[in-house]
Structure 1
Amino acid sequence: MNPAAVGVGRKDIVKGIKLLKDIEKDSGLPFISSNITMAVGSTHPFPSLRRVKWGENEVAIFSLTRSMPNFDATLGINVLDPVDTAKKVVDLTKDADMVICLSDLGFKDDHALAREVKGINIIIGMGEGQRILSSPSRVEETLILRCADRGRQLGVLDLPPNMAGKGWPLAVEASKVVNLRERLNTITRRIASIEARGESSKGRAEIAKLQKLAAPLEESIREISKNGGGYNHSITVLSSQTKDDLYVEETLKDLGPDPAKNRQKLPQKRVSRPIRPPTPQQARRSSASSTKASALPDGEPYNTGAMSCRRCHTDAYRSWIRTGHSRASLNLSNEQKRDPNCLSCHATKLSFIKGGAIENLVGCEACHGKGSKHNAADGNIKRKVAEVVCASCHKGYHENSSFDFDKDYEAIRCDRAE
């Protein structure tokens, strides 16, 4: 995944700092911790701040965890006050275009941190409570995100580059823009209806009241337009149907039931990672010989996932992420998530050269065709979706369900104008 930074939390250091330092050395993972210091020497075992480039912007990233004094003493560490630490770090990042905090403090403490420390743009939280936020929380100009632990969910925050900057023009979430416009349209129609009845003192009073309600909605929409349309946020459930990474799976088997103890005894062993399908951009740059590897051994094209499509079709992806297709598996019970009959419509199968996985949503390729031969001359990608494709799932599996192709297609299509 090539992460820019990996925050160190309580669960990461449960086996001691040395194990995590060894993992850092072997894997190259960019661990970061701003308020953990060694008890002897007061040195930081990990960098307290990382700076990365996002387009033309510089993003500063720091990490905080919570103190557990009795346990910290056994680990030989001190955990500094997170609020004091955050204030010092933010003071060092005044030249950065954006400041992100990776927090292991907990839901309530994340909000308290945002209130007490000005200058943090985004807090990505974990920690006590493991509370999930399907939509980001906001404390003044700080956006707070949270997801599940143990890799059970994947969160995506899609920001336009112009949202980074000293002014941090934080608009409302883009998925709420439609709601704002609908509310404004309702008020506008009511005003037109009152005006059509003819002028009266009662009518003028009603119109004045409605105009007062419309003013903040209009201001919000203007602000969103000025700032580039706000942001998109989504959370994808990673179920047990998703196969483990072959490299990690084989390594864990070698380590046995006590990884921390057995890891030091293993000889160094090189394990090949599974080959992932190329993105459309990579495929265009590849030679003719590599094109032959863009399909499974039997020559059939395969699905590469919505994130592969997103790299080139950004606008369509942003439209799709706001539709029910992107959340198709969220309303399934645990039993249904294991039922192939349900998954055949509520999820999209991803195939790799080695192994496979399940995309817990109705992805781009479920409608438009499998993407591994997108750049070949096979013509398997269809922009206009045929009714028979939709009807393969929308054909009465559920009671009281109805499907009107013309109406429903217009509501779900990802190339529609905003």
Structure 2
Amino acid sequence: MPIRSGDTSEKAGTVFASATEAAEYVGDHCLSAAPLGPVGLEIEAHCYDTADPLRRPGWDELTAVIGEVPELPGGSRITVEPGGAVELSGPPARDVMTAIEAMSTDRATLRAAFARHGLGLVLLGADPLRRPRRVNPGSRYSAMETFFSASGTAAAGAFMMTSTASIQVNVEAGPRSGWAQRVRLAHALGPTMIAVSANSPMLGGRFSGWCSSRQWIWAELDEARCGPVLGADGDDPATDWARYALRAPVMLVPGADAVPVTNWVPFADWADGRAVLGGRRPSSRDLDYHLTTLFPPVRPRGFLEIRYLDSVSDALWPAIAFTLVTLLDDPVAADIAAEATEPVATAWDRAARVGLGDRHLHTAAVRCVAAAAERAPAALTESMQRLLRSVEQGRCPADDFADRAVEYGIGPAVRQLARGET
């Protein structure tokens, strides 16, 4: 859930005369100055039939179960991803521990409700067992399938929409004077935190050769839509995001139903009149919608939406969320993180492939997680110490699931997790 959105109401529906106008609009609204502290969390979980983990619960079944879920005490919103993964989106909380505690209670309530119907919610970065299949009938997702097919990324698009799950952390952009440093750090932390949270060693019933198959899937989609907005440098995040957004191809034209664009049309070409989509020039509403179809690992939305963490177990996600927020919001920890991650700030693919098996990523991860552990409250001790031990040993969550799958088989391993067995 958004912490804060840029106020676009004054320009709602404004038709752009040029790409320059569109770029100015993006730059003006991408970040909002605000004090650090508030945090929003979103967690996706794969839904399995505990008796038959190969079966993918359908749309009617999922919506019926969700309809019986009691009001969630932490105020999270429940949604269903294209492949049937169930997402909890927590409201903005005043600080990271409040967000963690609220999400933990909502997770427990949701798990219990699904368990009464023989369904389990499994926190893995990618579905290790089932082939991709869409169950959410939304027109947006149908149109996305058409776009991915036309762009030559049908397989990666199908896996991305129906087989991946993440933990998303939303933090404030902070004071305007610190935007460049904060956005650079959010990017620089990416490879290290991918290695720490990597939890998807299998895909479609086999080992993929990647610790984070989820990150690999995203990398297989077009770089213009899913690659990092910044590299290790970048001193003007608003301009960088505007450039990124206007260069990215338009995926869908909004209307009564989303209409896929089956040829490569950068938004700048639409705004400049070099291409015509939907029989018109684009408006600010079209641009706002276009921004929702861009999936970089760090996405400016007034706040910073951090999207590069695999979904991990209930034992670990509180520590991982706390670590990431602490490394961004605590000034001393942020300095430690900036220094520790500098050598690996752009090692996105290496982090996804080998995780903490890379010695440079391992060194950075130990320093970062240790810095967060020193600042963790007592309520987080167990989760934090478990994470720190694993990182010190050079193990990411993918190693634990891989060991379980080898020992018991993939199906039984998934069934154990769906039933809540540790």
Normalised-by-shorter TM-score class: under 0.3
User: Which structure is higher in RCO with an 8 Å CA cutoff and minimum separation 6?
Assistant: 2
Structure with the higher fraction of residues in helix conformation: 2
| TM-score, length basis structure 1 | 0.26
| TM-score, length basis structure 2 | 0.26
Q: Which has the larger Rg?
A: 1
